[in-house]
Amino acid sequence: MKTFPIGGIHPSDCKEYSKGAKIERFPVPATVTIPLSQHIGAPAVACVAKGDKVLVGQIIATAGGFVSSNIHSSVSGTVVAVEPKADAQGNMKPSITIAVEGDEWAEGIDRTDTVVKAINMSPKEIVDKIAAMGIVGMGGATFPTHVKLSVPDGKKAECLIINAVECEPYLTADYRVMLEQGERLLIGARILAKAIGVDKIYIGIENNKPDAIAHLTKLAGAYLEIEIVPLKMRYPQGGEKQLIAAVTGREVPSGKLPIDVGAVVQNVGTALAVYEAVAKNKPLIERVVTVTGSTLASPKNLLVRIGTPMSALVEYSGGIDGIGKVIAGGPMMGRAVSNLDAPVTKGTSGVLLMPTQESLRKAEGSCIRCAKCVEACPMGLEPYLLSALTQQNDYDQLEAHYIADCIECGCCTFSCPSYLPLLDWVRIGKAEVMKRMRERSQKK
Amino acid sequence: MESQKLVISPAPHVHGSNDTRRMMGDVLIALLPALVVSVLVYGLQAFVVVAFSVACCVLVEWFVQKFIFKRPSTLGDLSAIVTGVLLGFNLPANMPLGLIAIGAVVAIGVAKMTYGGLGKNLFNPALVARVFLLVAFPVAMTTFPEATGAVSGATPLALAKESLKAGVPVGEVMQSVDLASMSLGMKSGSLGEISVVALLIGFGWLLVRRVISWHIPVCVLGTMALFSSITWLCAPEEYMSPLFHLLSGGAVLGAVYMATDYVTSPMTKKGMVVYGVGIGLITMLIRLWGPYPEGMSFAILIMNSVVPLIDKYIRPRRFGSVKSK
Ligand code: SF4
Ligand code: SF4
């Protein structure tokens, strides 16, 4: 069975808590807070003001540049504030707050359950539509999808890879979408393929989800261009470069992009959002969020309106008693939350609650040169060395040792028997090295 | 919702099962069978040597941390205990306790703590102590008690070397050694060297628990086997057989437990191969043509000193560094 070539780890997948929970529609909250920057790139610019009435699906902020994204209202009601609000980490971020009144949808959105198979738009129209509907990468990276679909001149896309790996432990949102919305997902993938002009679609799924593999393989029988690729379970298989290598055997060289080896990768949630945007004219206003944890009374997969406070989801799934840490996303790459009232955004794939005793780090020892971090690094780096060089502020050496290649997957910290915070240091070193590299290329 | 204090820390938020203490514990478990055999062969004095060595090493580390570095105790990582056991394994069963204490001071106090403690030392602490004792107290280090049923007080390696030097043909030397009982522990030698079978059982445990990989032990022993096969095939009357070399002296103890010490071995698999082959080669050169009957300790220490160089020039394969298909 296929997998990526070097490094990787096997964290326990912990998906059993929520994998059986069908996607449930979460009730519309009383107010939503919609940040203007939920994506990589320039923040969107608000186009509504305090006091305005808005409908579900109405545009409320327009993209602030090419690498940016439109934002739509996820509810109907009155705009009560356009001002900075605390995000999950407590930083003040420009946001639009809307008091909910009813559930009135904007015109032109097809809310029926009918599956629309035909794709009548041209590639250009598809990309424009995706941009208009505010679609971004929903696996967590939140890169605007229309940017990824705009293949630069001189480069050629050869295949589309749907990232159905969901290699983060605990998360099951994509898994549930595959089982419950498989048909729509495949149509979304075909729309994406048409947009970049390729006739080969791979869907990479890890073998810890045999039912999803079986289900999609059956559905994909109707489409010759779609191939389901079962992958050997290993983290971080969902990393873009790792997935491309696992599926096609091609390795994206250091400093290059997936398109340089002819690949475009989109995740499951994104493909579904693309289907809804293109076939149903529905903007990105809601997403599936896994709310889970080992101590939760009832872990869930919820279809949540963007802007819903995380605290509402947590309360609904069993409350916060005995919880020490809340993580937006998965346990390997997700971010710890300090402000539970912060909203679910386009990139929130999960809300993970960790019991108090699992929340604290263990005391650091010293590096015993066991090489476990080197073995685990999927980019072939030497985390022990990068961490030490960062502590010595030796940025030239850090660059020479390819710190910029780090994908921040956390395999090194996970593997270190001395509980060294390797990735904490590597992040610091990488940020500084990237800054220097940018400054250098600007000078040229 | 009632705001409550939440823990904030950067990702990753989970940790694997690797743990220094657990891995050192596994090394101790792996050394158990050999300890049992040494007690069976030499009686309680074998246990006394190992226990005393462990006690001294622990004491020295505790002392240095507390009174010299003024840092919290590091005994919890169990590495001082592992060094203590390995030092004990490298001594004869009738080693005077005073000399063991000196050995512990050299191992922990000099070879480990002067570099800054666990992870910072260049040379394997137990081996530094062994070689120090060998040079300073050669008689105590090479006088082995009669093992129950074992043939003589000298190790088979020393015996073979002496005899061959004196012109005794290999055939006759071989009559005095019985390879089968050698592999079980019926031979003279340092405590931990005597039973190859017990050491290999421990090797299996280390592999199963993923504490070490096969690379270093297999490369060391493989190189020794290859080298001694060549000399043996060229001149069977002058050189001992490969089997004899693998079963005698510290070959397996060194290859599996000393050469694989994390701190003093390379970080990459390729580097481990180079390092292992180097140890095998140097060991055989010393055994066949050097002044000492056993060369394993010197070989490991020599290769320890090359490790920084190996790590500098042999790097892991980076993702994306091969040409795309
Ligand atoms: S976080 Fe970076 S350095 Fe650590 S294992 Fe992942 S890619 Fe390697
Ligand atoms: S995993 Fe930790 S102890 Fe082992 S080499 Fe890397 S940094 Fe050092």
Read off the pLDDT of residues B41-56 as tens digits, 9 standing for 90 and up.
888 888 999 999 999 9
Cβ < 6 A, ligand 2 pocket: A 367-373, 384, 415-418, 420, 422
Closest A-chain CA to B22? A417
- Comparing CA positions, the residue from B203, B187, B91, B195 lying closest to residue B146 is B187
- Comparing CA positions, the residue from A323, A314, A320 lying closest to residue A356 is A323
Strand A263-267's sheet: what is its strand order?
A226-231, A201-206, A159-163, A263-267
Closest A-chain CA to B79? A368
**Which ligand does the CA of B18 lie closest to?**
2
Torsion of CA A334, A335, A339, A342, to 10 degrees: -50
User: Atom 7, ligand 1: which residue's CA is nearest?
Assistant: A406
- Comparing CA positions, the residue from A156, A56, A68, A70 lying closest to residue A106 is A56
The reported pLDDT for the residue numbered B141 is 83
Residues of A in contact with B206 (CB under 8 A): none
- Burial class for B55, CB neighbours closer than 10 Å (0-12, 13-18, 19+): middle
- pLDDT < 70 positions in chain A: none
Distance CA A337, CA A324 (A): 11
The reported pLDDT for the residue numbered B177 is 65
Distance, CA A391 to ligand 1 centroid (Å)? 16
Ligand 1 binding pocket includes A333 (Cβ within 6 Å): no
Residues of A in contact with B3 (CB under 8 A): 339-341
Residues of B in contact with A363 (CB under 8 A): none
Residues 118-147 of chain B with CB under 8 A from chain A are: 118-120
3-class secondary-structure state, position B159: helix
Residue A210 corresponds to which amino acid? P
Beta A263-267 vs A159-163: how paired, if at all?
parallel
> pLDDT, tens digit, for every residue of B298-316?
999 999 999 999 999 999 9
Distance, CA B96 to ligand 2 centroid (Å)? 38
pLDDT at B118 over 80: yes
Whether the bond into B266 is cis, omega within 30 of 0: no
> pLDDT, tens digit, for every residue of B156-181?
777 677 777 777 777 766 666 666 66
pLDDT at B186 over 60: no
Q: Where are the beta strands (DSSP E) in A9-156?
A: 23-25, 31-35, 45-46, 53-54, 59-62, 71-72, 77-86, 92-100
Between A and B, how many CB-CB pairs are < 8 A?
Answer: 168
Distance, CA A378 to ligand 1 centroid (Å)? 7
Where does the pLDDT of residue B247 fall: very low under 50, low under 70, confident under 90, or very high at 90 and above?
A: confident
The token pair that represents B99 in the structure block? 């000399």
Interchain contact, B1 vs A334, CB within 8 Å: no
Interchain contact, A354 vs B13, CB within 8 Å: yes
The reported pLDDT for the residue numbered B152 is 46
A155: left (phi > 0), else alpha (psi -120 to 50), else beta? beta
φ, ψ dihedrals at A403, nearest 5°? -60, -25
How far CA B288 is from CA of B154, B157, B165, B187, in Å, comes to 17, 10, 10, 20
> pLDDT, tens digit, for every residue of B248-304?
778 899 999 999 999 999 999 999 999 999 999 999 999 888 877 788 999 999 999
Residues of A in contact with B322 (CB under 8 A): 251
Give how far the C-alpha of residue A415 lies from the chain's centroid of Cα atoms, to the nearest Å: 24
Whether the bond into B12 is cis, omega within 30 of 0: yes
B interface test, pick of A251, A294, A326, A341 with most B CB neighbours within 10 Å: A251
Where does the pLDDT of residue B192 fall: very low under 50, low under 70, confident under 90, or very high at 90 and above?
A: confident
CB of B263 within 8 Å of a chain A CB? The answer is yes
The reported pLDDT for the residue numbered B4 is 61
Percent of chain B with pLDDT over 70: 88
Are A422 and A16 in contact by the 8 Å Cβ rule? The answer is no
Interchain contact, B18 vs A417, CB within 8 Å: yes
Question: What is the reported pTM?
Answer: 0.91
Residue A362 corresponds to which amino acid? K
The reported pLDDT for the residue numbered A62 is 93
Mean pLDDT computed over every residue of chain B: 86
The reported pLDDT for the residue numbered A323 is 84
Q: Which residue has the higher pLDDT, B114 or A413?
A: A413
State whether the Cα torsion B93-B96-B100-B106 is positive or negative. negative
Interchain contact, B319 vs A405, CB within 8 Å: yes
The reported pLDDT for the residue numbered A214 is 94
pLDDT at B324 over 50: no
Structural domains of chain A, ranges and CATH numbers in brackets: 110-280 (3.40.50.11540), 372-443 (no CATH)
Residues of B in contact with A415 (CB under 8 A): 16, 18
Q: Which residue has the higher pLDDT, A394 or B245?
A: A394
- Comparing CA positions, the residue from A308, A332, A321 lying closest to residue A170 is A332
Torsion of CA B297, B300, B304, B310, to 10 degrees: 170
> pLDDT, tens digit, for every residue of A298-341?
899 999 999 999 999 988 887 777 788 999 999 999 999 988 89
The token pair that represents A218 in the structure block? 């059956």
- Comparing CA positions, the residue from B124, B116, B55 lying closest to residue B90 is B124
Q: Looking at residue A26, what DSSP letter applies?
A: P
CB of B163 within 8 Å of a chain A CB? The answer is no
User: Atom 1, ligand 1: which residue's CA is nearest?
Assistant: A408
pLDDT at B1 over 80: no
Interchain contact, B13 vs A320, CB within 8 Å: no
Ligand 1 binding pocket includes A398 (Cβ within 6 Å): no
Please give the ipTM for the structure prediction: 0.88
Ligand 1 binding pocket includes A410 (Cβ within 6 Å): yes
CB of B98 within 8 Å of a chain A CB? The answer is no
Q: Where are the beta strands (DSSP E) in A275-366?
A: 286-292, 300-305, 323-328, 335-336, 350-355
Interchain contact, A315 vs B1, CB within 8 Å: yes
B interface test, pick of A234, A364, A368 with most B CB neighbours within 10 Å: A368
Testing ligand 2's pocket by substitution, the residue of A416, A422, A424, A426 carrying the most ligand atoms inside 8 A of its CB is: A416
Domain spans in chain B, listed from the N-terminal domain onward: 20-140, 161-313
How far CA B283 is from CA of A251, A387, B122, B132, B242, in Å, comes to 41, 36, 19, 18, 13
Interchain contact, B319 vs A336, CB within 8 Å: no
The reported pLDDT for the residue numbered B2 is 46
